[in-house]
Each structure stands twice: as C-alpha cells, then as structure tokens.
Amino acid sequence: MKIRVGFGYDVHRLVAGRELWLGGIKIAHTEGLLGHSDADVLIHAICDALLGAANMRDIGYHFPDTAEEYENIDSKILLRKTMALLRGAGYELGNIDATIAAERPKLNPHIPAMKQTLASVLEVGEGDISIKATTTERLGFTGREEGIAAYATVLITQN
Ligand SMILES: [Zn+2]
C-alpha cells in the first residue's frame, strides 16, 4: 500500500454583511468570510491538502474563482468533488488533521458539528477527522480579526 501526505493552507478576509461558514456549517457571528465561494476557509485548506497529497495541483486550478458556476458555491460541493477526483485516481482518505486560527468567535463548541458534517461529505468516519481551533494571542491578521486562517494535513492511501 502506498501512503502519501498532503498539506493545505488558506486565508479569507472577515467582513461585515457576510455569513460565516466554517467546516461546512454556518456559525453565528457579527462578520463573515469574503470570497468567491462561501469562503469556507477550513474546507478550502482540506481540499488543497487532499489535492496536494495526490499531486493534483490545487483548488484554484480545479475550481477557478473566475468561473460563474462557483460563485457563492457551498464549499461542501467542492470538497465532495475533490474527494471524487482522488477516489477516481484510486486514493482513499487515511485521516485529516486541521487547525483553524481565529480570534473570535469561539469555535470549540462547533467542532463536533463540523466533524460530523465533513465526515458525511467525505464518506469517512468522524474518527478520521481532527479539527482544532486556536487564537493567535491577538497577534497578526487573525489576532486583529481581519481574517481567519486554516491549516490542514491529510494522509491518503492507494492500494
Ligand atoms: Zn479559500
């Protein structure tokens, strides 16, 4: 069995007047993430980690942000398509470990729902998806609440 690792990173700006979507769920907050899609920064980092593990370029290559069909798209659809690309190439997910860097809102209460949602989109067990949340101690753009960053590592296997 072949084992491969991948890494993904994404950032979106926080602005007023947008819904906040993270990990496939909507979270009540005074601001939301700005982007061509729903700007779900965690899902985008996971997609990039999956594509990177399979050496299949990146999310912008497969789902260009200039394409009208992806405007305001639910990122869960992009994640489902990404996993289908990998399965089409004979890969299966081993596990995901991800971290969201955000000063606010408090994300820990939402992590079980994110794990459940992503597990169902990816058709894997919740035990294969780890999501962590951290602040950056008020430092940097995440600390100033100008944006939210997400990091993801994944392991994939090929028989
Ligand atoms: Zn993104």
**Residue-by-residue DSSP string for 70-83:** GTT--HHHHHHHHH
* pLDDT at position 71: 85
Q: What percent of the chain has pLDDT over 90?
A: 94
* pLDDT at position 68: 85
Angle at 96 between CA 77 and CA 35, to 5 degrees: 40
Count CB neighbours of 143 within 10 A: 14
Ligand 1 mean position, distance from CA 11 (Å): 6
* pLDDT at position 50: 98
Res 159 pLDDT > 90: no
Ligand 1 mean position, distance from CA 79 (Å): 12
Residue 13: pLDDT band (50, 70, 90) is: very high
Tokens standing for residue 122: 């990816």
Ligand 1 mean position, distance from CA 43 (Å): 8
Count CB neighbours of 75 within 10 A: 27
Q: How far apart are CA 152 and CA 159, in angstroms?
A: 23
Stronger pLDDT, 65 or 62, i.e. the higher one: 62
For each of the domains in the chain, give its residue range(s) and CATH number, in order of start: 2-129+149-158 (3.30.1330.50)
* pLDDT at position 74: 96
Ligand 1 mean position, distance from CA 63 (Å): 11
Quick check: helix, strand or coil at residue 54?
coil
Ligand 1 mean position, distance from CA 31 (Å): 16
Ligand 1 mean position, distance from CA 87 (Å): 22
Q: How far apart are CA 66 and CA 115, in angstroms?
A: 29
Q: What global pTM score does this model have?
A: 0.97
Ligand 1 mean position, distance from CA 47 (Å): 9
Ligand 1 mean position, distance from CA 91 (Å): 23
Helices vs strands, H then E, count in the chain: 5, 7
Q: How far apart are CA 51 and CA 90, in angstroms?
A: 13
In this prediction, residues 35-41 reach a mean pLDDT of: 95
Residue 66: pLDDT band (50, 70, 90) is: confident
Ligand 1 mean position, distance from CA 98 (Å): 15
Residue 124: pLDDT band (50, 70, 90) is: very high
